[in-house]
Amino acid sequence: MTRGSCLCGAVRFEFDGKTTDIGMCHCSKCRKVSGVASNATLMASLENFAWRSGADTLMKFSLPDGWSVWRCSTCGSPVPVLHPGGGAYWIPAGLLDSDPGVRIAGHIFVDSKAPWDEIGGTAMQLRDDFGSEEIG
Ligand SMILES: [Zn+2]
Ligand SMILES: [Zn+2]
């Protein structure tokens, strides 16, 4: 069982079973909304995921184009969101309180990374989304 929580602890969740590896997104939206170089996320299937607290206090922030993020309404931490496909939760890896057992699968939207962002490690680097041209 892997557990996660927001900065203030109001939002708590857990999941078990197989997850995806971690994807590091360097796109401009992830950079802006997180304030850091890249967003680290993994996905757990709907049936393996459970909210433990705070699910009724989440706040949604939306752009006019429909792009949105959900946050803890007390501390502003990003929180897991249901994938548009509906079968899985997208989980910000920084929220995890224990080792999920998976590692970084790759870096995506590397073409959009900040000029000061130096990507370390050996995971593949992709120009755009997973499936796009490998550039590092
Ligand atoms: Zn919080
Ligand atoms: Zn992104």
Query: What spacing in Å lies between the alpha carbon of 39 and ligand 1's midpoint?
Result: 18
User: For the segment 79-131, what is each residue's pLDDT rounded down to a tens digit?
Assistant: 999 988 889 999 999 999 999 999 999 999 999 999 999 999 999 999 999 88
Query: What spacing in Å lies between the alpha carbon of 135 and ligand 1's midpoint?
Result: 37
Query: What spacing in Å lies between the alpha carbon of 70 and ligand 1's midpoint?
Result: 11
Instruction: Burial-class residue 110 by CB neighbours within 10 Å (0-12, 13-18, 19+).
Output: buried
**pTM check: above 0.95:** no
User: For the segment 17-72, what is each residue's pLDDT rounded down to a tens digit?
Assistant: 999 999 999 999 999 999 999 999 999 999 999 999 999 999 999 999 988 999 99
Query: What spacing in Å lies between the alpha carbon of 14 and ligand 2's midpoint?
Result: 23
pLDDT at 130: 87
Cβ atoms 55, 64 nearer than 8 A: no
Which backbone phi and psi does 28 adopt, to 5 degrees? -65, -35
